[in-house]
Structure 1
Amino acid sequence: MPQRGLAGVTVMRPEHSAPILPRLRGRVGRRTRQLLLAALLGSLMSGVALAFIRPIEYGFTAFGQVASRASWLLVVVPALGGLISGWLYEVFRTPGEGKGVSRVMWSIYRKRGRLPALEGVRTWLASSATIATGGSAGPEGPIAAIGSVIGSQLAKLFRLPPRQMTTLLGCGAAAGISSVFNTPIAGVFFVTEVMLRDLSSRTFAPIVVAAVVSTAITQSVAGGHPLFPTPEDFGDGAFAWWEIPNYLLLGLLCGAGAAGFGALIGFVGSRFRKVNVGTPVRACLGGAILGLLAFVWHLVANDAANLPPFLGKSYDQIKLLLEPLHYEDRTWQFVGLLLLVGVSKGVATAVTFGSGGSGGLFAPSLFMGAAIGGAFGFLVDQAGWLPSASPAHYALVGMGAMVAGTTHAPLTAIFLAYEITRSYSVMLPLMLAAVLAVAIARALRRDSVYTASLSRAGVRLGPISDLGALRSSTPADLKLVAPVFVHPDETAERLLALSSKLHVDDFVVVDRKDRYVGLVTSEDLREALVYREALPLLQVEEMMRPNLPTVGPEEPLDEVLDRFVQHDVHTLAVVDPVSKSVMGLASRLAVMGHYHRASHEEEEGDEV
């Protein structure tokens, strides 16, 4: 309901109007209602995930069959897939930065979790076109984005407030990842650790419910087998302390590789953006380059029956690298082959994403980690440092360490590597390598593969904490300070008189049509008082700060706080973006007070 604040302006307060099912709101509390919606979303996402992944698998299989009979299709099909993907992004434009998970994070940080339905449709179709035609990407990022869109739309349907909308968005993402990978724990931690960066109980519980329900339904339909099952004797042998240096070195290698991979994606993307053609043509060009790489691999390997290992999700190749028998009777040249395959996957992924393709980065990271780990493990085994160690163990640890390095999310990577194999035997070295990989990757490159595009757009990502209180709030949630208006041609003496009479320090400068021109701060007034005899001659336009940023009524408060820090002022004008009229003054004290109250809100205040 509209309320009048100190500024004398009408500020719209969030109003919880009646939802479509009013009886649901009346009979259960907010917390219980959110859990029920999370369960509903988890049920829905299990079907959505299957509907998304199955056509991609069928399409990629068909691509392999036709390419085995006509090798020139290795170039044509990826180019066609890139053209379709680029056309979809060109025609169905939506506001925001990045793609997939990055786009969802942008909406969380800048749009309070609001995602248009068109974003989900576009991501679904573009990712399917990219992956099914050989683009080097995985399905986990797109299904997380699709689930996020569905969660956002469901929250909109029930008219939930922004913070609950963001949580439901996370529920959809976790449910989607859990269904595709059969990894509910990793799905939960990916959302809380990477996307929301919020581990509070009010966020954690609904996301767990959505992930568990989605996984349970998916397992009942498609089975509960791990994505990459390992042999029964895979876990033979215990982790010994003398193995620690080897796994530390592997973590270092994967961390450096992850940083290099992220930098390669950024470099290739910047080169493609300089190509002055439309998005469809650019993506088509990237697909053609990827196809040429595949064609050259086909000629060198002389293997017409199988697609190159760096095309598509590369799940079959990961399964091979986790098989201990795959490393028997190999020569030293096998190490070079594994490294070549890993580098080829990185290049193929950079071309796919840099040119405008759509997909996820989990699968490429897993494959590259398995290749690095397998090669390192083979060297260890051949050198006789640890005769009991299998290169397959190092491949699994490398998978987790690489994901940790690319995402900067060690918990997600550890649980993902465990759940996709159900092998606990390497959990200890996996934890060690993952943590070190994150440290190395962050030291070499500040941004993860998901936050790089956000950083370029100026989006601030703070540490994991309860920053959701600021991201989901706007100046409308503050008690605005009543502005005192002056005109540029008034004198400093007039300001001093107003300051003494009204006990205010900051003045809003407007033109004759009451449009914002600038701000005179208390510091400006104090500087003018040094030359008190000149006050009658000093005009406001000579004192004001025209370059101070203003605040929009719908901007998230975390961005507002950033502006206070950058400019070191006590107030900023809240300006209507259309009329340019001043709605009030947002103070630094009000922003911090709102954050403090929201962060320390007692959970007992919620209905149970």
Structure 2
Amino acid sequence: MGWHYSIVVLGSGPKVVYWPCGWPPVAKKIMTVSFSSLLRSACSYVRHLTMALKAVFHSLHFRKTDTMNYLTSFFNKKGKEFGLRYLILGGIIGCAAGLAAVVFHYAILEASEYLILPWLAAIEAEGLTARNIGFTIMIPTVCGILVAYITERFAPEAEGHGVPEIMNAVVSHDGVIKPKVGLVKFLCSTLSIGGGFSVGREGPTALIGATLGSCFGQVLRFNRKRMKLAVGCGTAAGIAATFNAPLAGTAFALELVVGNLSLVYLSPIIFSAMIATVITRSIAGNNHALFSEFKFILQSPSEILLYCFLGAIVGLVGLAYTRTLYFLEDKASKLPFPRCLKGAMGGSIMGVTLLFIPEVAGPNTWPVIQSFVKITPSDFDRIMWLGLILVAFKILFTSLSLSLGASGGVFAPSLVIGGAVGGPFGILVNRLWPGLADHPGGYALVAMGAIVAATTQAPMTAIFMIFELTNDYEIVLPLIMACGFSMAVHNHLQKGSIYTLKLLRKGINLQWGRDIGVLQSILVNEAMKRESDAIDVDASYSDIVSTMRNIPRRTLPVVDRKNTLLGVISSASLMHQDHDAKGITARDLMDPDAEVVTPDQSLYVAFETITDGDYSYLPVVESRENPRLLGGLYRQELLQLYQNQLNLRGIY
């Protein structure tokens, strides 16, 4: 049955009224009048309700300014950071980011259905006709031009992965992300993925969530610590909503954005991720474990060795992925073309590629991953060839897409690459040792986690994500082993992750959630304290205790009469001694293998030493061959100096 419509003009404007075909004219007239009356009554009701609410708010003097002042005061109260109000903060941000992630997901689905997918389906059904070829090349080209223009015109920082921009905002801009960045990222990533580029939606979703958290913090005038918390909540919610995986979202935010695992951040962030997941499942369905029907089976303890070997291979593939991406970015940045022309080049290259290898398109990410996990014996030969092809082409065209201006993430393509390595590896094991790998899809899942761990340097994120996608605890042990080996191989050959390398190329050396690059240009000689309390090697126990009480640190250097450093005494070593101990000297209590630095070393080395060893004090000696005590570096003063250098660079 079809439908007719009429335009009904009301005081608030024209309205469209529909009715089924075949109704008699009288019925149409009655329905039109009825709908008109109903709409007019509804508009009148809404208008009067709005006026009534305004009157109530005015009578209570509860204005917008009063509301904002109250919220600002509420969330900025001094006290325990992990109190109830920060759980409320996490819940609010998680709700907003979860809704945004759902809208973003459906926007990509609609864009894909209207842009590239119909033509890929037409090629599969009709072959390479002139019309199919033309539209398959034209759509990515036009999308590439639009994305390049929008990002260049409105928000250049929206170009690229998404996650490095979050990390940069937290470290270099006090967590401030402009609202337009999230909006532009939403639009450009929708066009990029819907237009067929080989990019993912996970990084953009994280940036959209982080933008919402940052905007919330800006409105409520958060300080640096609270702003980092707000951005972390938004990031966790975005990732959790994308994968329906709250633990993975939490780990992602803590490992990559916040860089801190304390309860101050953990409680609100995990609550934010949980709320976002609940919202996503209530709207998009409870498909929280995409591979829940896959039963992982470890056939033999010796099979763990194969997973370790797979992890090493995946580490090398992840290294190739990272280096290819930045090699092509370097080459693309040197092209003497405007950004729109680069976008057109990237789109046309992708269009030609999709004519022959449609699996590299962004909208085909999860169907391809499913094919590698749910392998049947009849598909072994096809999956072997598809895997070998996709490993090379997915790395190449993801790198080309991002280098030439597409907006999207590197996370989802890395999952495809991992599956393309693990699936064929499992098939090969099955053929070499029949019965050992009855389900090669298990190797694909483990390889997906391993490549995420290698490229992002976030092992907990990788482990939690695969565990939540499978809902199978049996996969955890081989997954941990593979992630460990993949990270070890990647770190041995390349320091830094696929995210931090982008920042490093901008002069931001990010470690432990801090830009330590500012410390590499300062020498220890410029920051050390020349006067340093020290005690003679033959000093008695009572003298040691007396001196230790008068210094604001937990470590005391021990020297001889020539002021040569012999060791250090910590306050912890005194706790195990009797207060009336006699005959005990500093020589008996000191640690002769104390960590030291020299004046010509950079503060970066000192900072790394103090942080790794959790020292409050670090002796400075003339040289390691001549360890004459010159002074010391104090942890708190070193951190203050680091902060001052950030202020001088205009970072905070």
TM-score w.r.t. structure 1 length?
0.70
Residues 162/355 of structure 1: CA separation in 2 closer, same or farther (3 Å cut): same
Q: 1:197 aligns with which of 238, 256, 259?
A: 259
Counterpart code for 1:450: Y
Residues 448/90 of structure 1: CA separation in 2 closer, same or farther (3 Å cut): same
Counterpart code for 2:98: S
Q: Distance between the aligned counterparts of 1:268 and 1:598, measured in 2?
A: 34
Residues 310/134 of structure 1: CA separation in 2 closer, same or farther (3 Å cut): closer
Identity %: 28
Q: 1:368 aligns with which of 417, 432, 435?
A: 417
Once the two structures are superposed, what CA deviation does each residue of 1:402-430 show, in whole Å capped at 9, x if it has no partner? 11111111111111111122232221111
Task: Give how far 1:24 is off.
Answer: 2.8
Q: Which residue of 2 aligns with 1:146?
A: 208
Q: Which residue of 2 aligns with 1:389?
A: 438
Q: 1:565 aligns with which of 603, 610, 617?
A: 603
Q: Which residue of 2 aligns with 1:247?
A: 307
Contact map agreement 2:372 2:423 (CA 8 A) in 1: yes
Q: Distance between the aligned counterparts of 1:219 and 1:597, measured in 2?
A: 47
Q: Which residue of 1 aligns with 2:119?
A: 66
Counterpart code for 2:105: I
Q: Which residue of 2 aligns with 1:456?
A: 505
Q: Which residue of 1 aligns with 2:324?
A: 264
Residues 566/188 of structure 1: CA separation in 2 closer, same or farther (3 Å cut): closer
1:425 aligns with 2:478: no
Task: Give how far 1:41 is off.
Answer: 0.7
Contact map agreement 2:453 2:462 (CA 8 A) in 1: yes
1:82 aligns with 2:125: no
Q: Distance between the aligned counterparts of 1:24 and 1:381, measured in 2?
A: 60
Q: Distance between the aligned counterparts of 1:354 and 1:94, measured in 2?
A: 14
Once the two structures are superposed, what CA deviation does each residue of 1:66-123 show, in whole Å capped at 9, x if it has no partner? 3444232221111111111111111013569964111111111111111111111111
1:162 aligns with 2:224: yes
Contact map agreement 1:131 1:313 (CA 8 A) in 2: no
Q: Distance between the aligned counterparts of 1:337 and 1:49, measured in 2?
A: 31
Q: 1:318 aligns with which of 366, 369, 391?
A: 369
Q: Distance between the aligned counterparts of 1:83 and 1:39, measured in 2?
A: 38
Q: 1:21 aligns with which of 41, 54, 71?
A: 71
Q: Distance between the aligned counterparts of 2:396 and 2:418, measured in 1?
A: 14
1:275 aligns with 2:324: no
1:595 aligns with 2:639: yes
Q: Which residue of 2 aligns with 1:178?
A: 240
Query: How is 1:497-576 mapped onto 2 (pairs within 5 angstroms)?
Result: 565=603
Residues 287/29 of structure 1: CA separation in 2 closer, same or farther (3 Å cut): same
Q: Distance between the aligned counterparts of 2:642 and 2:69, measured in 1?
A: 24
Q: Which residue of 2 aligns with 1:484?
A: none
Residues 74/98 of structure 1: CA separation in 2 closer, same or farther (3 Å cut): closer
Residues 384/213 of structure 1: CA separation in 2 closer, same or farther (3 Å cut): same
Q: 1:439 aligns with which of 475, 479, 488?
A: 488
Contact map agreement 1:183 1:419 (CA 8 A) in 2: yes
Contact map agreement 1:72 1:295 (CA 8 A) in 2: no
Residues 344/99 of structure 1: CA separation in 2 closer, same or farther (3 Å cut): closer
Q: 2:163 aligns with which of 79, 87, 101?
A: 101
Q: Distance between the aligned counterparts of 1:207 and 1:383, measured in 2?
A: 46
Q: 1:209 aligns with which of 248, 260, 271?
A: 271
Runs of 5+ in structure 1 lacking a partner? 1-17, 298-306, 472-562, 569-587, 600-608
1:38 aligns with 2:94: no
Contact map agreement 2:332 2:404 (CA 8 A) in 1: yes
3-state SS in 1 of match to 2:105: helix
Contact map agreement 2:141 2:347 (CA 8 A) in 1: yes
Q: Which residue of 2 aligns with 1:53?
A: 105
Q: Which residue of 2 aligns with 1:500?
A: none
3-state SS in 1 of match to 2:510: coil
Runs of 5+ in structure 2 lacking a partner? 1-67, 123-131, 519-600, 607-631, 644-652
Residues 470/346 of structure 1: CA separation in 2 closer, same or farther (3 Å cut): closer
Q: Which moved more, 1:20-29 or 1:430-439?
A: 20-29
1:351 aligns with 2:400: yes
Higher relative contact order, chain-length normalized (CA < 8 Å, sep 6+) = 1
Contact map agreement 2:141 2:348 (CA 8 A) in 1: yes
